[in-house]
Amino acid sequence: QVQLVQSGAEVKKPGASVKVSCRASGYSFIDYYIYWLRQAPGQGPEWMAWINPDSGDTHHAQKFQGRVSVTRDSSINTAEMEMSGLRSDDTAVYYCARGLVSAQFSGNADYFPYWGQGTPVIVSS
Amino acid sequence: DIQMTQSPSTLSASIGDRVTITCRASQSISRWLAWYQQKPGTAPKLLIYRASILENGVPSRFIGSGSGTEFTLTISSLQPDDFATYYCQQYSSYLMYSFGQGTRLELK
């Protein structure tokens, strides 16, 4: 079965960077896009970026461009999201998710049947 | 960007009630809409996609409808397990995804 297992909780000071990993299993990692989302306390989820694990192509939501980097290591079936210049309003649970759109295709939007367990990131001085 | 607005923010209901949650998009998204259920401390769970198609394993009491800019999620007869927060998500473009702010369904 599809599983996405994320790294553990992080506590960071303002201005620092954080890296969250997402290890996939139960399917061919390079076959499906990986999406990164976050959810601040009491808010709805917010999409941040996606990566095509096959080609390495990425796309970010405008508000995260220049501050978020998403990468993958196909040899270990793992995607990573790194955010720099952390602020207190970046405190949230960060999720990776997988959809159903094949990585062989571009331009097709997706929904998210599969989610990681979430990684809490707390930004506090 | 496409904004998604849900109403109500909170809904109080009893076991067996029929309840409806509304989700409005700031521009037409055809039927590219999904609904999720989320319980505290867990990731969202997909219920419905393409506005009305039930995800495998989701009970048939969950009913999605709508197109264009207005969508609804109806639970035909509330069960104890249904008390949770519900989110809509638009996926009309692979370049930008957005969610509603959520509807918390609580026991009256």
Residue B71: pLDDT over 90: yes
Rounded Cα distance between A120 and B48, Å, is 26
Please tell me if residue A120 touches chain B, with a CB cutoff of 8 Å: no
Q: What is the mean pLDDT of residues B34-58?
A: 98
Q: Are B47 and B60 in contact (CB under 8 A)?
A: no
Rounded Cα distance between B94 and B80, Å, is 36
Cβ <8 Å between A115 and B43: yes
Residue B38: pLDDT over 90: yes
Please tell me the distance in Å from A47's CA to the nearest CA on chain B. Answer: 6
Q: What is the mean pLDDT of residues B69-90?
A: 98
Rounded Cα distance between A48 and A83, Å, is 11
Using CB atoms, which residue from B45, B95, B102 is nearest to A44?
B102
Q: Are A46 and A36 in contact (CB under 8 A)?
A: no
Look at residue B74 in the predicted model and tell me its pLDDT.
98
Cβ <8 Å between A43 and B101: yes
Q: A106: pLDDT confidence band, cut at 50, 70 and 90?
A: confident
Look at residue B94 in the predicted model and tell me its pLDDT.
93
- Reported as a single tens digit per residue, the pLDDT across A87-96 is 999 999 999 9
Residue B89: pLDDT over 90: yes
Residue A105: pLDDT over 90: no
Q: A103: pLDDT confidence band, cut at 50, 70 and 90?
A: very high
Rounded Cα distance between A105 and B105, Å, is 38
Mean pLDDT of chain B: 97
Look at residue A23 in the predicted model and tell me its pLDDT.
98
Cα separations (Å) of A59 from A56, A97, A111, B2? 10, 15, 16, 17
Which residues, listed in sequence order, are joined to residue B13 by a DSSP beta bridge? B107
Q: What is the rounded radius of gyration, in angstroms, for the C-alpha atoms of chain A?
A: 14
Please tell me if residue A43 touches chain B, with a CB cutoff of 8 Å: yes
